[in-house]
Amino acid sequence: MKTKWLTTLVVAGLVATGPATTGAAQSPKLKMTADIPASITAPDKVDTSIGTLNYFDGVPTGETVATVYDYLDRSRAVNVFLNSIPALSMYTLREGQAKVGCATSNQICIWDTLMDSTTTLLTGNTSTMYAVGFLDLEKDGPTVIDLPPRMLGILDDMAFHLSFPKIRTA
């Protein structure tokens, strides 16, 4: 349990955007009491981009813990969504090619006209001619791709991560 609230305290501190203020209750001054610098005391509340986080003696309240965990859940969900877009885009491109007849790795779709506003392609542009194909190296083994002179060729994996194959020029 101690680790859970400590983790929450650290995370809450990371999302804090406002300056820390001291608001600790005054305790009686005893003979062996040491002065604690205000700069290292925990604030009773911190204003953040996700709302005000409240603490008692440096420990987050239940409401603050719930707020921080909600923030973490939401931010991680957004991250998963954004990281999935490239792979989903490539998957949809592959499915579209199969529907127009390019269903195997030895077939290439060539756009014989420029794209316009009706083309549904995530990252396409209207001033480029496209020739797109997919490789199945598991099925076909090592593959040679021969491009015409002055044609730009890019090899990406399904998440748009660039591949750097050995390139041999004739």
Please say if the pLDDT value at position 165 is more than 50: yes
Bridge partners of 55, per DSSP, are 60
pLDDT band of residue 55 (cuts 50, 70, 90) is very high
Question: pLDDT (tens digit, 9 = 90+) per residue, 125-137?
Answer: 888 888 888 888 8
Q: The tokens 């002065």 sit on which residue?
A: 35
Q: What is the pLDDT of residue 19?
A: 45
Render the burial of 46-80: b for 16+ CB within 10 Å, e for the rest.
bebebeebbbeeeebeeebbebbeebeeeeeeeee
Q: What is the pLDDT of residue 31?
A: 81
pLDDT band of residue 54 (cuts 50, 70, 90) is very high
Is the CB of residue 28 less than 8 Å from the CB of residue 43? Answer: no
Decide: helix, strand or coil at residue 24: coil
Q: What is the pLDDT of residue 28?
A: 75
| CB neighbour list of residue 162: distance below 8 Å, 6 or more residues apart | 154, 155, 156
From 2-6, 66-70, 156-160, the region with the lowest mean pLDDT: 2-6
Is the CB of residue 6 less than 8 Å from the CB of residue 60? Answer: no
| pTM, two decimal places | 0.55
CA distances from 148 to 23, 122, 145, 165 (A): 72, 26, 10, 17
* Whole-number Å distance between alpha carbons of 18 and 14: 11
Q: Average pLDDT, stretch 88-108?
A: 88
Domain ranges of the chain: 2-73
Helices (H) and strands (E) in the chain, counts: 3, 5
- Among left, alpha and beta (phi > 0; psi -120 to 50; other), residue 36 is beta
H or E element in which residue 139 lies: helix 137-140
How many residues in total does the chain contain? 170
pLDDT band of residue 170 (cuts 50, 70, 90) is low
Please say if the pLDDT value at position 117 is more than 50: yes
